[in-house]
Amino acid sequence: MPILQVKNLNVTYQTKNKQITAVNKVNFSINEQDSIGIVGESGSGKSTLAMAILRLLPNRIATVEGEVYLNGKDFLKLSDEELTKKRWKEIAVVFQKAMNALSPVHKIGSQMVDIFQIHDKQLSKKEIKNRMIDLLEMVNLPPRVYNLYPFELSGGMLQRVSIAISLMHNPKLLILDEATTALDVVTQGQILENIMELEKNFNTTRMMITHDMSVVASSCKKVVVMYGGHILESGLVKDVLKNPKHPYTKGLLESLPSFTGEKNNIRGIPGSLPDLSSPMKGCVFANRCEHVMDICREKLPSEVALPGEHKISCHLIGGELDD
């Protein structure tokens, strides 16, 4: 059974005079210990997807429809009490600016203990302290960090603290939303290595939200490519990144130096995201696609399964035009 199953998930933001469909009938699932990267450029709906799964979008701002099964139970239907029990233990999240949530006037250790005790009041202070120091060591921080204030740590160290906090209750599913994006490449690489090591020890499944394909290439087993609230392509990283089928995925890869080899081959994708507040008949990428055909503007492509776990929604591949 998949650890997370998302079915027909739709998220609509209500603004004063518009309704913005930021996630549009999204379906995907994650099996245990499948690290999955959700990629796409800014505004493609990645964070909205994560927030909806985590039930962090207030009703007055957004309408969430569909089903999100966490270990077989519909997470969207849980009572607030059940939800509180599952947060941190079954599902935890680290945001890009997670470190900003730390109080500047309390030491790291005391904040960790307070957070730990919200969910577990059984252990003594000393036992908790030992566990917190173990956790800090697991994210490669020395024990002395326990007695330091946030201002005494670098951004990378603080983000490691946030990751340690997220792992405190051994969550089954860990969502990282651009959690390493603001860090320099070396620190980012080290933290990713740490996280992968921790996953093995903790038996955690990771969902990683990023606009950076190279992060997915180096740390994930599977990838989901999002654009304009739709999933356009998904599958194993080794298939999708080596043999991308969707013109959008190809465009994303061509805009990365590490995937094209030579600097002068780097290309952007001309154009910008469509207006998500007006209803669309066809493919969401049609206006920017260099292979656009009449049918692309008329009909939403349905998802086609290719060999392996590779799936694609594009009129160029599979379906009527490819017969």
Nearer to ligand ATP, 47 or 313 (CB): 47
Residues that bind ligand ATP (CB under 6 A): 13, 15, 20, 22, 40, 42-48, 61, 211, 276
Which residue, 168 or 207, is less far from ligand ATP as judged by CB? 207
What's the CA gap between 321 and 318, in Å, rounded? 7
Are the C-beta atoms of 147 and 129 separated by less than 8 Å? no
Nearest-5° angle of CA 148, CA 150, CA 152? Answer: 65
Q: Which is nearer to ligand ATP, 110 or 181 (CB)?
A: 181
| Least distance between ligand ATP and beta carbon 189 (Å) | 21
CB of 322 to ligand ATP, least distance (A): 29
Q: At its nearest, how many Å lie between ligand ATP and the CB of residue 46? A: 4
Q: Helix, strand, coil proportions of the chain in percent (round to 5)?
A: 40, 20, 40
At CA 182, angle to CA 285 and CA 102, rounded to 5?
120
Amino acid (1-letter code) at residue 141:
L
Instruction: Report the residue number, 103 or 272, with the smaller CB distance to ligand ATP.
Output: 272
- Residue with Cβ nearer ligand ATP (21 or 111): 21
Task: Cite the DSSP H helix spans in the chain.
Answer: 46-54, 80-86, 108-119, 125-138, 155-166, 185-202, 213-219, 237-240, 247-254, 257-260, 294-298
Cβ at position 180, least distance to ligand ATP in Å: 14
CB of 153 to ligand ATP, least distance (A): 25
- Decide: 23 and 45 in contact? Cβ < 8 Å: yes
Report the 10 Å Cβ neighbour count for 94. Answer: 22
Rounded CA-CA distance 240/57 in Å is 31
Pick 47 or 162: Cβ nearer ligand ATP: 47
Nearest distance, CB of residue 85 and ligand ATP, angstroms: 27
